[in-house]
Chain A
Amino acid sequence: MHDGGYVLTGYAATAAVLAWYRWRLARRGARARRLTESLRGRPSTVRRTRR
Chain B
Amino acid sequence: MMVIERLLARAGTRQVQRLLGLATLAGLVGTAALGLVVVPPDAEQGDVQRLMYVHVPAAWLAFLSFGVVFVASFAYLRTGRIHWDRVGVASTEIGVVFCSLTLLLGSLWGRPVWGTWWTWDPRLTTTLVLLLIYLGYLSLRRVADSPSQRARWSAVVGVVGFVDVPIVHMSVVWWRSLHQEASVVRLGAPTMDGRMLATLLFATVAFSLGYGYLMVVRLRVGRLEDHAAGSVMSRPAPRAHAPRRPALVGDEQDA
Q: Is the interface of B mostly helix, strand, loop or mixed?
A: helix
Q: Binary interface profile of B, 188-225, with partner A (CB < 8 Å = 1, else 0)? A: 00000000000000000000001000100110110111
Task: Give the CA-CA distance A7 to B48 in the complex, in Å.
Answer: 6
Task: Give the CA-CA distance A3 to B55 in the complex, in Å.
Answer: 16
Cβ-defined contact, B218 with A25, below 8 A = yes
Task: Give the CA-CA distance A33 to B232 in the complex, in Å.
Answer: 12
7 closest pairs, A vs B, by CB? A32-B224, A3-B48, A32-B228, A39-B231, A35-B228, A29-B221, A32-B225
Cβ-defined contact, A11 with B36, below 8 A = yes
Q: Binary interface profile of B, 125-150, with partner A (CB < 8 Å = 1, else 0)? A: 00000000000000000000000000
Cβ-defined contact, A49 with B108, below 8 A = no
Interface range, A side: 20 to 34
Assess A21 versus B97: contact at CB under 8 Å? Given A4-B47, A44-B224. yes
Cβ-defined contact, A10 with B220, below 8 A = no
Assess whether B28 is interfacial by the CB under 8 Å rule: yes
Cβ-defined contact, A9 with B108, below 8 A = yes
Cβ-defined contact, B217 with A25, below 8 A = yes
Separation in Å of the B243 CB from the closest CB of chain A? 25
Separation in Å of the A13 CB from the closest CB of chain B? 6
Cβ-defined contact, B54 with A3, below 8 A = no
Cβ-defined contact, B36 with A35, below 8 A = no
Contacts of B48 in A (CB 8 A): 2-3, 6-7
Task: Give the CA-CA distance A47 to B100 in the complex, in Å.
Answer: 31
Cβ-defined contact, A32 with B109, below 8 A = no
